[in-house]
Amino acid sequence: MCQTGGQDNCNIACTADNVLTDSKKAHIRDTLIPAATAYLTSALDVISVSGNLRVGSDNECTIRDPLTIPPQYLDSGAGVAADIILMVSARPTAGTLLAFAGACKVDQYNRPIVANINFGPSNLKPQTPVDPSELGTAIHELVHGLGFTATGKTGFAKFLDLATNTTRPEAQVIGATVTVGSTNSYSYDAINTTAALAEARAHFGCNSLAGVPLEQQGGLGTARSHWEKRVFWNELMTGTSSADPRVSRITLALLQDSGWYTANFDAAQKFSFGKGKGCSFIDNKCVAGSWPANYICSTDKVRSCNFDRSARSQCQLVEYSSGGPAADMQYFSNPNLGGADSLADFCPMVIEFSNGVCSNTANIDANNDPFFAQVFSRDSVCIDSSIGLAAGEENIRCYRSGCSSATQAVVQVGANWGSCAGGESGLTAAGFSGSWDCPSAEWVTAQCGATASFPTLTAVAPTSIQLTGGESVTLTGSGFTADMYVAIGPVSCNSIVLLSTTEATCTTAPSTIPSSIAANIATVPRTAAIIRADASAATLANAATVVTPSPAVSLLPASTLVMAASLLAALAMLFA
């Protein structure tokens, strides 16, 4: 335990931030660990031991600093009905390191049965909802503890050959190389196990891919123990954290290839970085013409939406004084200039703001967002927009969006619901200055093309509602779900009661549009919309009139009018 003003056994000078407070302890115990283990329980199955799990007679668990395994889990104890014992600690960590983990005991087939995850208290951020990056780090470290690693007690060198129940040679797991570039080329070690390689080939659209590239930088504990950052970017198992980490089918496939687990691929999260970009995306360096233009950049601090429009982002370049790009990873005439994430081979990447993920409701700024019609929500995406902004200011915002067909997206900006087939520009929003542009047709297809089905919306009652909320609304259509978002123009409708898949009721909430803007919005019929959790959507034009306040008119008191009349009479006499 870290004591204020002292040193812990890792020789880190402690400050008050390093102390495990009650709130930080509760955050680990009641939020991070339950959420992380619940996800992994849904994603992986394992052949359970017969009876209770006991872990031997040695009571020491050592990853970096030793922990004592409680006696009830040893051979002399009662054991526990579990597949793995997770020991959680909170010792200080250096710098910005949030957590580390690894297995300290394995069974006869080298499957981890005891693992330690340690959280650095100074880097914990207890908040509701939980920070996706922080939860992602917890899951990431637990996956290391399950065997996704090239170092430690178990891992790639100890994978099980199910046909013989013997350990596979590491060369059958990390048995390929991937070369990048035709000049000044460099190579990655790569995973070539059956399921992981098949999933990677399908994801990238590269049937000739020899192996799944592993990180080659970062030193012991990072190199060869993570996916290559350059081509996996925000995948959970890269070597640096992301604002919106995703568990891909490729990671679940590798865990299945270990021989210790069976993966539930339905638990994989949507991962779109590099999807369908072909072999050139992996084989070529990240330069214009070889890589998509919205992945890379050339001018520092220029803001834009990220590669899949899930977040507000910025070009981040660094002029390195040391440790900069080697000759085979240089992209600028200045040899010291490179992308801010060195693990991505110094590629000049567009990097998401930590508070820029549009689906993260913790990013809501209730004081400012309404003046730009900005909405952070489950359904929000990044859109090029100058709505509510002065010329030259930031030109990207998060707006709610869904797919009304395989080739059509809808976007809510204030009171308006715009329809996008791709590339429409100069669209406006009632009451706001500025305009916004639809994403490209390529993005619409990528976002909407694989949607299996779409709801419909055929009627809304009543046909006139107030901005102030509190009214009951009945919806008619098809494909309704309890998790759908409902809005009539700028008015959200919450507390949804699903009467059937064709009928639902909800209660309107007060509009968040500022009164100064609402006063300039005409009282006219507005489009209603529903968006389901899978982003499929339906709209109904002219569904209901949204009654907005009339522009304020100041009336002078009667006494003032009398005084003004007397003054005019006096002036008339003076100039008669």
Say how far apart CA 230 and CA 222 lie, in whole Å.
14
**Residue 203, annotated ligand binder?**
no
Q: State how far Cα 59 lies from the chain centre.
A: 39
Instruction: Single out the catalytic residue among 60, 134, 141, 235.
Output: 141
- Asked if 471 contacts 508 with a C-beta cutoff of 8 angstroms, the reply is yes
Residue 191's alpha-carbon distances to 114, 149, 196, 251, in angstroms, are 25, 12, 8, 11
Torsion of CA 7, 10, 14, 19, to 10 degrees: -110
Helix (H/G/I), strand (E/B), else coil: 25 = helix
Let me know: does 120 contact 16? Beta carbons within 8 Å.
no
Nearest-angstrom CA–CA distance, 494 and 472:
10
Helix, strand, or coil (residue 160) = strand
Residues facing residue 323 across a β-bridge: none
Contact criterion met (CB below 8 Å) for 363 and 357: yes
DSSP 3-state percent helix, strand, coil across the chain (nearest 5) = 20, 30, 50
Ligand-binding site membership of 140 (annotated): yes
Three-state DSSP class for residue 215: coil
Q: How far apart, in whole angstroms, are the C-alpha atoms of residue 401 and residue 412?
A: 6
129 token code pair: 């909802």
Q: Rounded CA gap, 117 and 98, in Å?
A: 11
- Tell me: is residue 27 an annotated ligand-binding position: no
Close Cβ partners of 346 (under 8 Å, ≥ 6 residues apart): 324, 325, 329, 330, 331, 338, 339
Does 129 sit behind a cis peptide bond, omega within 30 degrees of 0 on the bond before it?
yes
Residue whose C-alpha is closest to residue 375's, from 421, 407, 415: 415
End-to-end CA distance of the chain: 95
Q: Is 393 an annotated catalytic residue?
A: no
Contact predicate 143/40, CB 8 Å:
yes
- Residues flagged as binding site: 140, 144, 226
Active-site positions? 141
- Residues flagged as binding site for Zn(2+): 140, 144, 226
